[in-house]
Structure 1
Amino acid sequence: MILDPMPESTPVAPPAVSAVFSPRNRPRFAGGPGTGTTSADPGKLRGFATVSRTATNTLNSHFSSVKNAWSAFTASCSWVNIEAESFLAGFERLLAANAADADWIEQVATAFETAGAGAVADSMLNALFIQYAAPNQVGLNDIAGLNAAQLTTWLAVPTNKARLQGLLQNQEYNPAVTAAWWTSLGHTVDAGTGKVTIGETQELLINTFPAIIGNLQGVSYTARNQANRLVLTQMLKEFDVYVRETAKELARLHPHG
């Protein structure tokens, strides 16, 4: 006999698709005081950067194909349950990371060419690569490795400025450690008179964070005095504005008074 069994009454659940991918973070900043030296061949570094860019361009063409294929799949199979999907965003981050690697290595090569030698102090490399560091990677000792121009560029990024402000505000009460750090930023002391001449990097920090520097134990009294004078000047300006605005408002409310 030919049997025609009853159809299955339990619905079959559609398969769940999970496509997850994210590239690993690539640290390009060592951090720390950087007391050693690093050696490299600028020509080989530039050669690597060129090969890396070529590979990234090839990978980018594959990304377009994968992106189109995924769009076609989701359009024609809308019934499929997509449990997790991060591979397209991860692919884009991978391309961006590869491009950043090539730029980073080019800067390494330039640093060695500028030095004119096969070895460069780690402090110089840290000053160059601090721009690649996440805000939570940077400490006060890393700031000490920057000159005023480098620090100005770094502070132009709001998250970097907020990070340094937090570091200064949360400095533990250890005047000796703070004094050593502040001195490492560069100032001169007259041996005969003991007069302190503030360094360019110190001047930048005073102008950027006067209220903090003015109250930071371990900072030279010369620097704290200058910082507190700046704060006082700003307070007087604000008070001046307040007095003028208040006078205008009183004149408006009592025109004949």
Structure 2
Amino acid sequence: MGIFNFLFGSKKQKESRQISVTIPQSKEFDYYRPEYFRILNSRPNMHEIYGRGFDFPKYNDRFITQEGYPLRELLLLVWWGKTKSGRKSTISIPQYFFYDYNLNAEKITRKFKDESLLYDDDGKTLLTEEGKVIADRYSSLWEIHSAKEYPTNLDIDFPTWDKNKFDLMMCQMQIRYHSEYANFCKELVNYFNSLNAPTSALEIHNEINRYINEMNSNLARVNDLKEKLIILQDRVDDI
């Protein structure tokens, strides 16, 4: 029998075996529902409010200056003149002129010197009288460049630039963003509360507390900005 069992298998081997597998139920409370994802997708986006994305170009060279220089080159001239006593001739020119404005700043500086807009004196580089006139004419380029919270473009923003109006616009857009974000948080809090989750569903209750805190923080920011808005509006009206 042993050899027959080896060749043809025993009856017990031919019997099918049923394995019972028990899948434990998740202890997490399920809140991943269509309404949840709809609310998530409604989260406000600051760049949509700005109307400009994070990749908005810093320049486009479309503004034609009466001197013939691109605005990004004139920004470098303004930088050289930012200090009344001049900058050291050996100073390292900031790398953003290369990374943001694609300038060979050292070469442009030599050009400014050759064209009598800059000169060296006792180890310092200073503006000539002509250089001062031009740098003053385009001094607002520095304000445009320095507006870090908003994606500016030298050529687009320079013709109509007004720092007071810009600050007012920024304040208005921030009020809109934080108001919309507070409403977004309120929707999520209402959604989580509508689930009637048991007290054991800690993740749900943590999310509720999280968004209540974020909502209150954004509402406080709105109130602060509204006070600032009154001051900024007064500045614009006084012009």
Q: What TM-score does the superposition give when structure 1 sets the normalisation length?
A: 0.23
More contact order relative to length (CA 8 Å, sep ≥ 6): 2
Q: Whose radius of gyration is greater, 1 or 2? A: 2
Q: What TM-score does the superposition give when structure 2 sets the normalisation length?
A: 0.24
